[in-house]
A and B are shown apart, each in its own frame.
Chain A
Amino acid sequence: MYNEENCRFLKTHEWAYKEGDTAVVGISNHAQEEISDIVFVDLPKVGRTVKVGENCCVIESVKSASEIYAPVSGEIVAVNDALTGDPALVNREPHAGGWLFKIKMTNPAEFDALLDLAAYQATIQK
Chain B
Amino acid sequence: MHTTCNLKTTALCEACRKAGGKMVDFHGWLLPVQFDGILAEHKAVRESAGMFDVSHMGQIFVEGLNAWPFLQQISCNNIKNGPAEGTYFHILTDEGTIIDDAIAFCLSPEKFLVVVNAACVDEDFAWLKKHASAFHVTVRNESAAWSMLAVQGPKAVQTLDQILPGVKDLPRFHISPLTMFGADGYVTRTGYTGEDGVEIMLPNAQITDLWNVLLQLGIKPCGLGARDVLRLEAGYLLNGEDANQTRTPYEANCGWVVKLSKENFIGKAALETKKQAGFENRLVGFVLKSPGVPRAGCKIFANGQEAGYVTSGTFSPLFKGIAVGYLNSKVPVGAEVEIEIHGRRLPAEVVKPPFYKNRV
Measured CB to CB, the residues of A under 8 A from B are 36-37, 39-40, 42, 58, 60-63, 65, 84
Contact between B314 and A62 (Cβ–Cβ < 8 Å)?
yes
Are the C-beta atoms of B292 and A42 separated by less than 8 Å?
Answer: yes
Minimal beta-carbon separation of B241 from chain A (angstroms): 14
Check B331 for interface membership: any CB of A closer than 8 A.
Answer: no
User: With contacts A36-B38, A37-B39 known, is A63 near B291, CB below 8 A?
Assistant: no
CB-CB nearest 10 A-B residue pairs: A39-B315, A60-B293, A62-B38, A37-B39, A63-B225, A62-B315, A37-B38, A40-B291, A37-B37, A58-B342
B214 CB within 8 Å of chain A: no
From the candidates B38, B228, B295, name the one contacting A65 in the complex (CB within 8 A): B295
- Tell me the bound Cα distance from A40 to B33 in angstroms: 20
Does B34 make an interface contact (CB < 8 A)? Answer: yes
User: Distance in Å from the Cβ of B311 to the closest Cβ of chain A?
Assistant: 16
B200 within 8 Å of A (CB atoms) = no
Task: Give how many A-B residue pairs fall within 8 Å (CB-CB).
Answer: 40
Which residues on B sit within 8 Å (CB–CB) of A84? Answer: 291
A42 to B292, CA, bound (A): 8
Q: How close is B248's CB to chain A, nearest CB, in angstroms?
A: 30
Instruction: Assess whether B225 is in contact with A62, with CB atoms less than 8 Å apart.
Output: yes
Known: A39-B293, A39-B315, A40-B291. A63 touches B342 (CB 8 A): no
Complex: how many Å from CA A56 to CA B33?
A: 28
Instruction: Give the Cβ gap from A71 to chain B, nearest Cβ, in Å.
Output: 20
Interface string of B305-324 (1 = CB under 8 A from A): 00000000011000001000
Shortest Cβ distance from residue A16 to the other chain B in the assembled complex, whole angstroms: 22
User: Taking the complex as formed, is B229 at the interface, i.e. its CB lies under 8 A from any CB of chain A?
Assistant: yes
Q: A37-B39, A39-B315, A60-B315 are in contact. Are A65 and B293 (CB under 8 A)?
A: yes
| Also in contact, A62 and B229, with CB within 8 A (given A36-B37, A39-B315) | yes
Q: Which residues of A contact B228 (CB under 8 A)?
A: 63
> Which A residues are CB-close (under 8 A) to B314?
62-63
CB-based contact A62/B292 at 8 Å: no
CB distance from A22 to the nearest CB of B (A): 25
From B34, B229, B293, contact of A36 by CB (8 A): B34
The answer to whether B33 touches A60, judged by C-beta atoms less than 8 angstroms apart, is no
Q: Given the complex, which residues of A lie within 8 Å of B229, measured CB to CB?
A: 62
CA distance A65 to B342 in the complex (A): 9
A40 and chain B: residue at smallest CB distance: B291
A39-B39, A62-B314, A63-B33 known; 16 other A-B pairs, CB under 8 Å?
Answer: A36-B37, A37-B38, A37-B39, A39-B315, A40-B292, A58-B342, A62-B38, A62-B39, A62-B225, A62-B293, A63-B34, A63-B225, A63-B314, A65-B293, A65-B295, A84-B291
Closest to A60 in B: B293
B34 cross-chain contacts in A, Cβ below 8 A: 36, 63
The residue from B38, B39, B295, B315 contacting A40, defined by CB atoms under 8 A apart:
B315
Give A65 to B38 CA distance when docked, in angstroms: 15
Q: List 29 A-B contacts (CB under 8 A).
A: A36-B34, A36-B37, A36-B38, A37-B38, A39-B39, A39-B293, A40-B291, A40-B292, A40-B315, A40-B321, A42-B291, A42-B292, A42-B342, A60-B292, A60-B293, A60-B315, A61-B38, A62-B39, A62-B225, A62-B314, A62-B315, A63-B33, A63-B38, A63-B225, A63-B228, A63-B314, A65-B293, A65-B295, A84-B291
CA distance A42 to B290 in the complex (A): 11
Residue of A nearest to B33 (CB): A63
Q: How far is the CB of B60 from chain A (nearest CB, A)?
A: 30
Q: For the complex, give the distance between the alpha carbons of A33 and B37 in Å.
A: 10
The distance from the CB of B225 to the nearest CB of chain A, in whole angstroms, is 5
Residue of A with least CB distance to B42: A62
Closest B residue by C-beta to A67: B342
Most chain B CB inside 10 Å of its own CB: which residue of A36, A39, A58: A39
Q: What's the Cα separation between A36 and B315 when bound, in Å?
A: 13
| A40 vs chain B, min Cβ distance (A) | 5
Complex Cα gap A65–B291 (Å): 13
| Bound CA–CA A42/B228 (angstroms) | 23
Q: Which partner residue on chain B sits nearest A91 by CB separation?
A: B37
